[in-house]
Amino acid sequence: MKFYLVRHGETEWNKLGKFQGSTDIKLNERGLAQAKESAQAAAHWGHSAIYSSPLTRTMQVAKEIERVTSAAVVAKPGLMELVLGDLEGVTGDEMLNGWPDVFHTWRESPASVKMPNGESLVQLQERAWETIVSIEKDHEDDESVLVVSHNFAIRTIIGALVGIPLANFHCLSLGLSSLCIFESDRRGEGGDRARRLITYNSTCHLSPENR
């Protein structure tokens, strides 16, 4: 089976360079255009189910995809973005000025940081990967499923998939409304699963102005 992982499109906070985390921000005009183009591409992916973070910006993408396919959207809290606590709505410069220790540790050792009154990457990866494995078990006999989530969440999923330590989290970049694809197959009767990353951070389904 294949997993299609779609990041949500642009919001006003993305434009302003603000950390969104679990704050429920909606897509802006460009983000909605990106969502529609993602949906047009998804119409040909053959997925049997759509799973999404319950936040508005991801559900808007999932609902656009739902309109062009026969699959219904199911919200999964485990696919939500990293909870940033006190850093929700903060820019990088504001983080540096207000939380310098957290800023520098985040840059140098992201796996060791727990956001003030928020989550750590370890916690995010555990719940996001657990959600992926649960979806995988529910759709073993299906051709593909589609998942709509967030920047940090998808990057931790891919990290778990290919064995990239969270210490190297900043080595990965993920564009708005980008697509990642991986395959998952069982090795023999009752065997372990073989998972292979096929596509990472693709925006070829978007028009040039929306990439």
81 annotated active-site: yes
Nearest C-alpha neighbor of 169 from the set 96, 104, 117, 107: 107
Phi and psi at 61, nearest 5°, equal: -65, -50
DSSP character at residue 193: E
Give the span between the Cα atoms of 201 and 6, in whole angstroms. 9
User: Catalytic one among 10, 64, 66, 81?
Assistant: 81
Phi and psi at 34, nearest 5°, equal: -65, -40
Note the helical H segments in 43-181.
Answer: 56-68, 92-98, 100-108, 121-138, 151-162
Using CA atoms, how far residue 148 sits from 59, 65, 86, in Å, is 8, 10, 25
136 annotated active-site: no
Nearest C-alpha neighbor of 148 from the set 1, 3, 2, 37: 3
Give the distance, in angstroms, between the CA of residue 172 and the centroid of all CA atoms in the same chain. Answer: 13
65 neighbors 42 (Cβ within 8 angstroms): yes
C-beta atoms surrounding 208 within 10 Å: 6
**Catalytic annotation, residues:** 8, 81
